Chain A
Amino acid sequence: MLEVKNIGYAYNSSGKILDGIDLSLKNGEILAIVGRNGCGKTTLTKILMGLLLPTSGEIQLDGEDVTKFKASEMAKKIGYVFQNPDRQLFANTVLEEVMYGPLQLGFVWKEAKTQALQSLLAVGLAGMDDHSPQMLSRGQKQRLSIASALASKPQILIMDEPTSGQDCRERTSLLRLMQRLNQEGMSVILVTHDMDIVAEHADKVLALLYHKVCFSGTPKELFSDEELTLSLGLELPEAVKISTQMNLPICLTPMEIYRCLEEANCRYV
């Protein structure tokens, strides 16, 4: 559904930030974009969102050429959830905050309100319409940010480090939310440092190194090859490290480890 061909981005003739990036995202897929700091992950997502204009290449969404679209035009199709929700929250109430996007995109007030309420329900903030966004907890603010992106009914959601700064409990619950949205049909592009998230949730991985794509495939393909993973400047997920240490077949998630151990007939306490 989203086809990106040969995207390049450079400040000037010598400083290339991105070089010949290809990616494709099918409906209902979760694609993880990974790489060390400075490899261009955020630049790539900004280009997809229309915040930056690529110096070369093209982007096609459902057959339509959206390469030259600006962010305000892309907002109907792609929702962007930023790492730091404080950068967006401005309204007096939660409902007003979530309604902002649809209203800006031209929906009438009644429709915007319905969509906003639906989004709030989807992220687990139903009933908090008249709360002040500034008084919410960190986790609730992140959910509010997701709801704001969802309210415009996009087809794709880009999430930039969604669990950064959250405690482990909130992290699990945000990932569960992402999973649920995906099951209901939302395609997700996930930018993250956390390989555990990639191993557990991503359908496909795109690894960037020195401004180029150095790997494109499934998490299993990537993490089964320790040498490849490390050469890309990435870490192995905890589950992979531990399953290797315990001489088990490579497990991407804790659940897989427990299953393997069960099958190997280990004693439980």
Chain B
Amino acid sequence: MEKKNKRFQDVPGEDLRWITITVLLLSIGVILRMVSPNIGGISLNWNIVMYTVSIMLCRPSVKQGIGIGFVSGVVATMSSKAALPYANLVSDPLAAAVCAFLASRYFLAIKVRKVSLEPALLVFLTTFISGGSFVLLTKLVLNLPMAVFLYAMLPAVFFVALFGSAAGQLLYKPAHKIFNKGEGLFEREKYCLKNIHMDISSGAFCIVTGVNGSGKTSLLLTIAGARIQYLKDVQQSSIVVNGMDVLQQTRKDLQSRAAMVMADYEAQLVTETVADEIDFSLENAGLMPEIILQRRQAVLEMVGLSGFEEKSIASLSGGQKQRLAIAVMLAMQPEILILDEPVAAIDPEGARDIYRLLGQINKKYNTTILVAEHDLKYAVPYATKLLLMDKDELRYSGTMSQCMQYMYDEKIYAEAIPLQWKIRMKLGENIC
């Protein structure tokens, strides 16, 4: 068996999915809670269903479970209309800890006719513990009579739990399939990049093109030093960028030299305001506040978002969010700026603006720009190099005209050749 390249050799490190899936599911829970009916302060608890599903998907440790419950409790406290606000800070961590404990040991994974009842049972138990402790605290603190507790509150919790367990049972199985999508591919060992021979010099503006599924995103993620679940190695290849052999670097080294704006750039924006987002990476790196402030001002000016510091991210338009993502990556002062399909869903005017910005960044900071792109017409004025990917291999690397000629001759993704070039190639130099 071939020895793995250094890039893929290091220990994966902490899997942050338990954090991200909890964040997104709890947000959905908050929204569902907003629109669901509420009786005298007790509402159907979607928060609990969501974090239970999250715990079942990642099977975190009990400590992480307490954290998840705590976050849910804080969010519920801040957004709740319930009778006793602080009680969530006790009930949710308690319930989530128990849930994490049971989930990690697959205690409730009971099957009835091939159908696992774990989701229903776990959601029921978690809701009952959380809801039960919540109403118990409410009863004690607010001196409610025992009769109300036994005959009104506990039954209400029981029905909420029943309802929630039905929802959990319906949602878990398909959620689990998607969560583990990558694993299915990996098991069959179908997925592997190979025969990639490329050398990109410092300050180049390079486009990577090919059909969906040809491996462009995987290539870019490899160079950016990302943790890729489904890709275990790149074989028989030599990837040199800025004089650095990508496959012989550790992931950390790559991350410090390259920054990537992913196709789903909205998922990369995780804080409340524009200023916070730019500060985020810099704070993580431990930089001093004065330097952070300087860099923030410089990059906001570069992308045309000066004065937007206090604006909330949710209020920005799609184009503004994308420019923010570019600013965020730029603030790290990377040698290599990587973008995955930046103009896929943007109108022509916006697309031209983005490429103009990239051109300016390329010129001003001599940053190497690497972009995965379908529609070559916007990139033409700026690109110095074009790479063609096909079926997980790199088929050609050269100047725009050279590569397009190759695409035309070999009929590989010739649809992407801009019309001007196509006509030129069809008729020869004499006419055009």
Contacts and interface: CB of A to CB of B under 8 A. Distances in A.
Q: In the complex they form, do A and B come into direct contact, defined as C-beta atoms under 8 angstroms apart?
A: yes
Interface of A: 36-37, 83, 92, 132, 134-135, 137-139, 161, 164-172, 193-194, 235, 238-239, 242, 246, 254, 257-258, 261, 266-269
B137 interface: no
Contact of B345 (A36, A132, A164, A269): A164
Interface stretch (B109-117, B121-129, B420-428): B420-428
Contacts of A164: 344-345
Given A172-B415, A261-B431, A167 B426 contact: no
26 contacts: A36-B349, A37-B350, A83-B345, A132-B177, A134-B181, A138-B212, A164-B344, A165-B344, A167-B210, A167-B212, A167-B413, A168-B375, A170-B211, A172-B415, A193-B347, A238-B418, A238-B419, A242-B419, A258-B423, A261-B423, A266-B427, A267-B430, A267-B431, A268-B428, A269-B426, A269-B428
Contacts of A139: 212
A135 B180 CA distance: 11
Given A36-B349, A135-B181, A169 B413 contact: yes
Given A137-B212, A169-B211, A268-B427, A238 B377 contact: yes
Contacts of B422: 254
Contacts of B177: 132, 134
Interface string B22-40: 0000000000000000000
A235 B347 CA distance: 11
A138 B427 CA distance: 34
B412 to A, nearest CB: 10
Contacts of B348: 193-194, 235
A170 B416 CA distance: 11
Contacts of B178: 134
Task: Report, nearest first, the 9 A-B pairs whose CB atoms are least far apart.
Answer: A168-B415, A269-B428, A168-B416, A165-B344, A238-B419, A193-B347, A167-B374, A167-B212, A167-B211
Given A134-B178, A169-B415, A267-B430, A37 B211 contact: no
A242 B424 CA distance: 11
Contacts of A36: 347, 349
Given A165-B341, A266-B427, 8 more contacts: A139-B212, A164-B344, A168-B375, A168-B413, A169-B211, A194-B348, A238-B419, A268-B427
B288 interface: no
A254 B420 CA distance: 10
A138 B432 CA distance: 37
A194 B348 CA distance: 8
Contacts of B349: 36-37
B174 interface: yes
Interface in B110-164: none
A79 to B, nearest CB: 22
Contact of B212 (A37, A166, A172): A166
B213 interface: yes
Interface string B336-353: 000001001101111000
Interface in B234-271: none
Contacts of A168: 211, 374-375, 413, 415-416
B258 to A, nearest CB: 24
Contacts of B212: 137-139, 166-167, 170
Contacts of B375: 168
Contacts of B428: 267-269
